[in-house]
Amino acid sequence: MNLQKTTEKTGSVMVVGAGVAGIQASLDMANAGYFVHLVDNSTSVGGLMAQLDKTFPTNDCAMCVISPFLVEVGRHLNINIISNSEVESLEGQAGAFHATVRNDPRYIDIEKCTACGQCRQICPVTAINEFDCGLDLRKAIYIKYPQAVPLAYAIDRSACIGCGLCEKACLAEAISYADTPRRTVLNVGAVILSMGSSVYDPSGLDTLAYGRHPNIVTSLEFERILSASGPYKGHLMRPYDREIPEKIAWLQCVGSRDINRAGHGYCSSVCCMYAIKQTMIAKEHVSTPLDAAVFYMDMRTYGKDFDKYYTRAKDEKHVRFIRSRIHTIEPLKNGDLNIRYVLESGDVQEETFNMVVLSAGLSPPPSAIALAGRLGIDLNAYHYAQTADIRPVNTSREGIYVCGAFQGPKDIPQSVMEASAAAASATETLADVRWTQTKVRELPAEVDFSGQKPRIGVFVCNCGINIGGVADVPAIREYARSLPHVIHVEDNLFTCSQDTQEKIKQVLVEKGINRVVVASCSPRTHEPLFQETLREAGLNKYLFEMANIRDQNTWVHMASPAKATAKAKDLVRMAVAKAAYIEPLPQVMLDVTNSVLVVGGGVAGMEAALGVARQGYQAWLVERGHQLGGMARQLRSTWQGEPVAPYLSDLIDAVHRHEHIQIFMETQVVHVTGTIGNFTTTLVTQDDEGKEKSTVIPHGAAILATGGHEYAPTEYQYGAHPSVMTHLEFDVAATKQDNRLLSAKLAVFIQCVGSRSAERPYCSRVCCTHSLKSALWLKTINPDVQIFILYRDIRAYGFRESLYQKAREAGVQFIRFESENPPVVSLTPGDPSEPNSSRLSLTVTDHILQRPIILNPDLVVLASAILPNENKKLFEAFKVPANADGFLVEAHAKLRPVDFASEGLFLAGLAHYPKTIDESIAQAKAAVSRTMNIVSKTAIMVGSVIAVVNPERCAVCLTCVRTCPYGIPRIDPEKGHAVIAAVECHGCGVCASECPGKAIALKHFTDEQINAKTDALFQAA
Q: How far apart are CA 269 and CA 843, in angstroms?
A: 32
Nearer to another protein among residue 341 and residue 716 (C-beta):
341
- Our finding on whether 830 is near another protein (CB under 8 A) is no
User: In angstroms, what is the minimal distance from the CB of 829 to another protein?
Assistant: 18
User: In angstroms, what is the minimal distance from the CB of 342 to another protein?
Assistant: 4
From the list 411-419, 467-475, 501-509, 806-814, the region that binds another protein by CB under 8 A is 806-814
Contact 18, 81 (CB under 8 A): yes
From the list 368-376, 764-772, 810-818, 888-896, the region that binds another protein by CB under 8 A is 810-818
Q: How far apart are CA 171 and CA 190, in angstroms?
A: 41
Enumerate residues 454-473 that contact another protein by CB under 8 A.
none
Enumerate residues 90-129 that contact another protein by CB under 8 A.
none
Nearer to another protein among residue 459 and residue 814 (C-beta):
814
Contact 247, 354 (CB under 8 A): yes
Q: How far apart are CA 542 and CA 307, in angstroms?
A: 45
How far is CA 975 from each of CA 545, 654, 694, 983, rounded to the nearest angstrom? Answer: 36, 46, 28, 19
Please list, in sequence order, all residues whose beta carbon lies within 8 angstroms of the beta carbon of residue 775, skipping any fewer than 6 positions away. 747, 749, 787, 789, 807, 810, 812
From the list 489-497, 826-834, 854-862, 879-887, the region that binds another protein by CB under 8 A is 854-862
Strand order in the sheet with 515-520: 486-492, 456-461, 515-520, 544-548
Q: How far apart are CA 852 and CA 842, in angstroms?
A: 10
Candidate list 369, 431, 654, 853; residue touching another protein; CB under 8 A: 853
User: In angstroms, what is the minimal distance from the CB of 270 to another protein?
Assistant: 18
Contact 271, 255 (CB under 8 A): no
Candidate list 161, 849, 958, 1021; residue touching another protein; CB under 8 A: 849
Q: E strand or H helix at 1007, and its extent? A: helix 1007-1018
Candidate list 317, 847, 879, 986; residue touching another protein; CB under 8 A: 847
- Our finding on whether 855 is near another protein (CB under 8 A) is yes
Residue 802: what residue type? S
From the list 194-202, 279-287, 845-853, 942-950, the region that binds another protein by CB under 8 A is 845-853
- Phi/psi at 166 (nearest 5 deg)? -65, -35
Candidate list 91, 111, 206, 499; residue touching another protein; CB under 8 A: 206
User: In angstroms, what is the minimal distance from the CB of 826 to another protein?
Assistant: 14
User: In angstroms, what is the minimal distance from the CB of 425 to another protein?
Assistant: 36
- Our finding on whether 816 is near another protein (CB under 8 A) is yes
Residue 186: what residue type? L
Nearer to another protein among residue 142 and residue 716 (C-beta):
716
Nearer to another protein among residue 199 and residue 855 (C-beta):
855
Q: E strand or H helix at 607, and its extent? A: helix 603-614
- Our finding on whether 837 is near another protein (CB under 8 A) is no
Enumerate residues 724-763 that contact another protein by CB under 8 A.
745-746
How far is CA 689 from each of CA 628, 666, 684, 695, rounded to the nearest angstrom? Answer: 20, 12, 14, 17
- Our finding on whether 828 is near another protein (CB under 8 A) is no
* Residue closest to 754 by CA, chosen among 801, 705, 718: 718
**Within 13 Å and on the Cβ side, how many CA atoms surround 232?**
20
User: In angstroms, what is the minimal distance from the CB of 840 to another protein?
Assistant: 11
Angle of CA points 204, 208, 209, to nearest 5°: 80
Give, as one character, the DSSP assignment of residue 928.
H
- Our finding on whether 876 is near another protein (CB under 8 A) is no
Enumerate residues 777-796 that contact another protein by CB under 8 A.
784, 786, 788
Candidate list 503, 633, 808, 986; residue touching another protein; CB under 8 A: 808
Nearer to another protein among residue 49 and residue 251 (C-beta):
251
- Cα-based torsion angle of the residue sequence 16, 18, 22, 24 in order, rounded to the nearest 10 degrees: 150
Candidate list 346, 829, 835, 996; residue touching another protein; CB under 8 A: 346
From the list 327-335, 621-629, 684-692, 914-922, the region that binds another protein by CB under 8 A is 327-335
Nearer to another protein among residue 297 and residue 465 (C-beta):
297
Enumerate residues 348-407 that contact another protein by CB under 8 A.
348
User: In angstroms, what is the minimal distance from the CB of 766 to another protein?
Assistant: 21
- Our finding on whether 563 is near another protein (CB under 8 A) is no
Nearer to another protein among residue 214 and residue 561 (C-beta):
214
**Within 13 Å and on the Cβ side, how many CA atoms surround 629?**
16
β-bridge partners, 305: none
Contact 455, 580 (CB under 8 A): no
- Our finding on whether 243 is near another protein (CB under 8 A) is no
Give, as one character, the DSSP assignment of residue 206.
G
Q: How far apart are CA 952 and CA 264, in angstroms?
A: 66
Q: How far apart are CA 920 and CA 814, in angstroms?
A: 29
Candidate list 60, 88, 167, 344; residue touching another protein; CB under 8 A: 344
- Our finding on whether 955 is near another protein (CB under 8 A) is no
- Our finding on whether 908 is near another protein (CB under 8 A) is no
Candidate list 161, 228, 342, 720; residue touching another protein; CB under 8 A: 342
User: In angstroms, what is the minimal distance from the CB of 340 to another protein?
Assistant: 6
Nearer to another protein among residue 176 and residue 782 (C-beta):
782
Enumerate residues 250-269 that contact another protein by CB under 8 A.
253, 257-262
Nearer to another protein among residue 258 and residue 527 (C-beta):
258
- Phi/psi at 878 (nearest 5 deg)? -90, -5
Give, as one character, the DSSP assignment of residue 717.
T
Candidate list 341, 639, 664, 878; residue touching another protein; CB under 8 A: 341
Candidate list 7, 328, 452, 482; residue touching another protein; CB under 8 A: 328
Nearer to another protein among residue 684 and residue 746 (C-beta):
746
Q: How far apart are CA 36 and CA 13, in angstroms?
A: 5
Contact 114, 170 (CB under 8 A): no
Nearer to another protein among residue 323 and residue 383 (C-beta):
323
The pairing of strands 337-342 and 329-331 is: antiparallel
Nearer to another protein among residue 298 and residue 418 (C-beta):
298
Contact 861, 726 (CB under 8 A): yes
User: In angstroms, what is the minimal distance from the CB of 845 to another protein?
Assistant: 10
User: In angstroms, what is the minimal distance from the CB of 206 to another protein?
Assistant: 6
β-bridge partners, 186: 99
User: In angstroms, what is the minimal distance from the CB of 726 to another protein?
Assistant: 23
Candidate list 324, 587, 675, 686; residue touching another protein; CB under 8 A: 324
Contact 463, 63 (CB under 8 A): no
Q: Which residues of 595-612 are buried (b: 16+ CB within 10 A; e: fewer)?
A: bbbbbbbbbbbbbbbbbb
Q: How far apart are CA 1011 and CA 468, in angstroms?
A: 30
Candidate list 452, 856, 1011, 1014; residue touching another protein; CB under 8 A: 856
CB atoms within 10 A of CB 308: 17
User: In angstroms, what is the minimal distance from the CB of 838 to another protein?
Assistant: 16
Q: How far apart are CA 417 and CA 908, in angstroms?
A: 10
* Residue closest to 57 by CA, chosen among 812, 883, 695, 868: 883
Q: By CB under 8 A, how many residues form the interface with another protein?
A: 49
Q: Would you tell me which residues interact with another protein (CB under 8 A)?
A: 206-207, 253, 257-262, 297, 323-328, 330-331, 340-344, 346, 348, 745-746, 784, 786, 788, 805, 808-811, 813-814, 816, 846-849, 851-856, 858
